[in-house]
Structure 1
Amino acid sequence: MTTALPTKRIVSRHHLELWLESDAHRQVQHFVDHLNSATVGVKLSDDIHVGANVQAILDVLDDVKQIYHDTPPVDNGKSRFGNPAFRTFYDKVAQRSQELHRRIPNLDERYVAELGVYFCESWGNRTRVDYGSGMELNFLCWLLCLEKLGVTDEKDRTALVIKVFWQYMQIARLLQTGYWLEPAGSHGAQGLDDYHFAVFIFGSAQLKTHKHLRPKCIHDDEILEEFSKDYMYLAYIRYINSIKTASLRWHSPMLDDISGVKTWDKVNSGMLKMYHAEVLGKLPVAQHFYFGSLLPFPVDADADSEAASAEDPDVHVDEHGHLHVRGEAQFEDCCGIKVPAIFAASQEAHQKGVAAGGGALRPLGGLAAAGGGSGAVRRIPFD
C-alpha cells in the first residue's frame, strides 16, 4: 500500500454523502462500537491486561505529558482566550512525533508520518488554539490506524479504553486547563460538554451492568466522590462540576436531561446514536476529518467530487476557512467564533469574588439561561 499524508477532503454536502457511504466511515463507526462493547462493566481500577505494545503507547502518552510540563503557559496579559504556549507545545510534539512512533513495537516505518497527523491533531488545533470532539476523534482514528497496522488487535480494546483513552483524557484536561484551550464550537461537544464526547460513551458502557447505580446518581456528590475512581462518566461529571459555576442543569442541561433516563443501557445506546449522527454525520464536524491511505477518502465514480460540489448553495466558507451549512441552525455558529475557555472565566470569577453557583457567568456550552436555553441543540432520543 502506498502511504499518504492525511488531508481534509470534506468541503460540501456532496463530500459528506460520500463519506457517510464509505468504508472509512464504517471502519470508524465499527471501531467506536467495538471499543464500547469492550468496556462494558469494566472499572478503571480493574486489573486489565496491558500487552507490550499497549504499554509502549502509554509510554508515548507519558512523553506527551512531560512535554506539557516542560512547556508552561506564558503570560498572556488579561486575555481569556487560548494561551500561545500551546503552539510551542504542539510544535514540540510534532518535532518528536517520528521518534515517539518508532518506539512502538511492530509499527511499519512507512506509516509513521501518516500516523503523526492524527496524533498531533489529537491535542488541539495549533492555529485556533482550541479543542473539540474532532480532536478526540483524531485520537480514536490514531488508535484505529494502529489496529489496522497490526500494532494492537481486538484483545487489546479493553486496555485501549480503560488505560490508553483514559490517560489521553487526563492529558487533554491538562492542556485545556493549562493553556485555556477554547472550545472548538460555541455549543461545545454537541451540547454535552465544552470539549469531549467519547468519554460519555465509554463511561456509560462501564456502568451498563452496575446493579445499583442509576443515571440519576450524577446528582449525588457523595456517589461521585466514592465512585469516580472507577467510572469515567462519574469522574468527568465531578470534574465538570468542579470548574463550572451554577448547577448541572444550567451549565450542562443535556447531561442533566439524560440523567432522567432509567438505565445506563439506554444512556449508552443513546450516546452511540448521538455520536454517529452528530459527530460522524455532521458536515461542520466531519469537515475536520483527515483522509490518508489507512482511512482513504472514497472515490466518486459518477463525477469529480470537487467539480460536483463547487457550487453547493447550502455551504459557505467563512474567513477562518470553516464551513457553515444553511438550514442547520444548531451549527450556524459552530466554528470560527472565539469562545473563551471556561477555566479563564472561572479564574476571573474567583478573582472578582463571584460565589460558586451564583450564575453570574454564562456557561460556555452556548446553552445557558442567557439566551440559549436547553433546547439550543437538537436532541437524540434516549429510548
Structure 2
Amino acid sequence: MTAALPPLRQIPISEAARLTPPKLRIKTDDDVACWRDTRGYHDYGLFLRRLNESVVGYFLPYSSPSMTQATTSILSMLDKLDSWINEIPPLPTPQRFGNLAFRTWGKKLEDNVDSLLTSLLPSEFAASIPLISPYLVTSFGSFTRMDYGTGHETSFALFLLCLTLIRFFEPLPEQERDLVLVVFLRYLRLCWRLQDVYRLEPAGSHGVWGLDDYSFLSYIFGSAQLRESDISVTTILRRPLPPTNLYFLSISRIHEVKTGPFHEHSSQLYNIATGVPRWAKVNSGLFKMYEAGTLGRSPGQTSRSPTYSFGRPYGMGHYFFRSDET
C-alpha cells in the first residue's frame, strides 16, 4: 500500500525560484553513477513506486471520484497538444520513418511551452516554469532525430514528479491514481498518435531484445493493476485482450503496429508471459529491469540483454536541486 511508503518531499516555490534550469548532464557511465547518488534519483524512484502502489486493484475504464482542477487542467493541455496534430498534417514525403512535419509540431511546442505552463499553473507557481519546461518539451520525442523512446516517456514522468514536488499535485493515493489512470493514459494515447501520424522511429530500439520499442512505464503500472488479480500472466497470449489495464493496452498496441508471430517480435514479453507465474513477480521484475535498462545506462551504452538502454531521458540527473546537492 502507498501508506507504507515514505512521503514525497515538498520543494517550496521560494526555494525553486533560486534554482537554475536543468541541463543535459547524463552522458557517460560516470555521470550515471553520480546521478544514482542524488536526491533527485531517489525522489523519482519513490514517486514511481507510489504511483505503482496507487493503482493496485484498479482497472480501466477508470472514473475518478474526485478529479482535481489540476488533473482537469493537464488533460486540457494534452488535448491542446493533440489538436496541433490536426493543424500540422504530415508532409507528403516518401520517408519510411520521421515525417518532417514532426519538427514543425515540436517547434510549436518549444515556442509555446511557457504559455502552456502559464495556463496550466496558478500564478503562485510561475517561478517553477523555467525549471519544468525542459521536461515537457522532451516528453514527446526528439524533434531532431524524429524518434521516441522510453527516455522521452521518463521525461514526462519527471515532469509529473516536478509538479508533485511543488504540490501542484498532492502526493495522495487518489491523486496519484489519477496521474496514472487518467493523465498518463491520456499522454500515452497522444504519443501513440504522434508515432502513427509522423511515423516516429523507435529511439534506441534493439528489436527483439527490448521489452517494447517505445514504452516501459505502461507495463509497470499495468502489472501493478493486475498484481492482486487471479488473471493468468499467460492471458496476454490470447487475443483480443480486454482494455482493462495498461499492460493489456500496450500489448494490443504492439499487435496494431507489428506483424508476425508474437514470440518473434516481442520475445521479452513472451518470455515473461510463459516464464513468470504471478503478476506480483512481473511487477517487481519490471521495476528492476527499468532501473537497470533505462535509468542505469549511459546514452551510448548498448548490450544484447534485458538490461540495455531503451532510450535516454533529457536531464534526468539534475532537476530542482542545487549543483552541490547529492
TM-score between the two structures when normalised by the length of structure 1: 0.73
SS in structure 2 of the partner of residue 259 of structure 1: helix
1:283 aligns with 2:283: no
- 1:207 alignment partner in structure 2: 226
SS in structure 2 of the partner of residue 108 of structure 1: helix
Mapped contact 2:208–2:264 kept (Cα < 8 A): no
- 1:294 alignment partner in structure 2: 320
SS in structure 2 of the partner of residue 137 of structure 1: helix
Please tell me whether Structure 1 or Structure 2 has the larger radius of gyration of its CA atoms.
1
1:322-369: CA deviation from partner (whole Å, max 9, x where unpaired): xxxxxxxxxxxxxxxxxxxxxxxxxxxxxxxxxxxxxxxxxxxxxxxx
Per the TM alignment, residue 15 of structure 1 is displaced from its structure 2 partner at its CA by 1.7
1:223-252: CA deviation from partner (whole Å, max 9, x where unpaired): x0xx21x21111111121122111110110
The 1:295/1:29 distance shift into structure 2, 3 A limit, reads farther
Residue type at the aligned position of 1:269: S
1:249 aligns with 2:263: yes
Q: Which has the larger displacement, 152-161 or 284-293?
A: 284-293
Mapped contact 2:19–2:321 kept (Cα < 8 A): no
Q: Percent identity?
A: 32
- 1:69 alignment partner in structure 2: 86
The 1:218/1:297 distance shift into structure 2, 3 A limit, reads farther
The 1:293/1:279 distance shift into structure 2, 3 A limit, reads closer
Per the TM alignment, residue 189 of structure 1 is displaced from its structure 2 partner at its CA by 10
- 1:221 alignment partner in structure 2: 239
- 1:181 alignment partner in structure 2: 200
1:197 aligns with 2:213: no
- 1:166 alignment partner in structure 2: 185
- 2:104 alignment partner in structure 1: 88
Residue type at the aligned position of 1:123: F
Report the Cα distance in structure 2 between the residues aligned to 1:297 and 1:181, rounded to whole angstroms. 35
After superposing on structure 2, the runs of 4+ consecutive aligned residues of structure 1 that deviate more than 3 Å are 285-289, 295-300
1:138-196: CA deviation from partner (whole Å, max 9, x where unpaired): 00000000001110011210000000000000000001111111111131697011100
Report the Cα distance in structure 2 between the residues aligned to 1:189 and 1:133, rounded to whole angstroms. 16
The 1:265/1:171 distance shift into structure 2, 3 A limit, reads same
Per the TM alignment, residue 69 of structure 1 is displaced from its structure 2 partner at its CA by 1.8
Report the Cα distance in structure 2 between the residues aligned to 1:105 and 1:296, rounded to whole angstroms. 23
Per the TM alignment, residue 295 of structure 1 is displaced from its structure 2 partner at its CA by 5.1
The 1:126/1:35 distance shift into structure 2, 3 A limit, reads same
Residue type at the aligned position of 2:40: A
- 2:142 alignment partner in structure 1: 125
The 1:25/1:293 distance shift into structure 2, 3 A limit, reads closer
Report the Cα distance in structure 2 between the residues aligned to 1:287 and 1:199, rounded to whole angstroms. 17
Mapped contact 1:134–1:288 kept (Cα < 8 A): yes
SS in structure 2 of the partner of residue 35 of structure 1: helix
Per the TM alignment, residue 93 of structure 1 is displaced from its structure 2 partner at its CA by 1.4
Report the Cα distance in structure 2 between the residues aligned to 1:75 and 1:257, rounded to whole angstroms. 40
SS in structure 2 of the partner of residue 209 of structure 1: coil
Per the TM alignment, residue 44 of structure 1 is displaced from its structure 2 partner at its CA by 2.0
Report the Cα distance in structure 1 between the residues aligned to 2:190 and 2:142, rounded to whole angstroms. 15
1:110 aligns with 2:127: yes
The 1:240/1:293 distance shift into structure 2, 3 A limit, reads closer
1:154 aligns with 2:177: no
Per the TM alignment, residue 296 of structure 1 is displaced from its structure 2 partner at its CA by 5.5
TM-score between the two structures when normalised by the length of structure 2: 0.85
Report the Cα distance in structure 2 between the residues aligned to 1:109 and 1:41, rounded to whole angstroms. 36
The 1:143/1:171 distance shift into structure 2, 3 A limit, reads same
The 1:72/1:296 distance shift into structure 2, 3 A limit, reads farther
SS in structure 2 of the partner of residue 283 of structure 1: coil
Residue type at the aligned position of 1:95: D
1:28 aligns with 2:44: yes
Mapped contact 1:19–1:297 kept (Cα < 8 A): no
Report the Cα distance in structure 2 between the residues aligned to 1:262 and 1:180, rounded to whole angstroms. 36
1:273 aligns with 2:291: no
Residue type at the aligned position of 1:157: E
- 2:9 alignment partner in structure 1: none
Residue type at the aligned position of 1:74: L
SS in structure 2 of the partner of residue 21 of structure 1: coil
SS in structure 2 of the partner of residue 8 of structure 1: coil
Structure 1 unaligned residues grouped into runs of 5+: 301-383
Report the Cα distance in structure 2 between the residues aligned to 1:162 and 1:127, rounded to whole angstroms. 31
Per the TM alignment, residue 299 of structure 1 is displaced from its structure 2 partner at its CA by 5.6
Report the Cα distance in structure 1 between the residues aligned to 2:104 and 2:282, rounded to whole angstroms. 39
- 2:155 alignment partner in structure 1: 138
Residue type at the aligned position of 2:68: G
Residue type at the aligned position of 2:281: K
- 1:357 alignment partner in structure 2: none
Residue type at the aligned position of 2:135: Y
Equivalenced residue count is: 294
Structure 2 unaligned residues grouped into runs of 5+: 1-14, 300-308
Report the Cα distance in structure 2 between the residues aligned to 1:295 and 1:279, rounded to whole angstroms. 22
Mapped contact 2:208–2:265 kept (Cα < 8 A): no
SS in structure 2 of the partner of residue 221 of structure 1: coil
Task: Give the alignment's Cα RMSD to 1 decimal.
Answer: 1.9
Residue type at the aligned position of 1:43: F
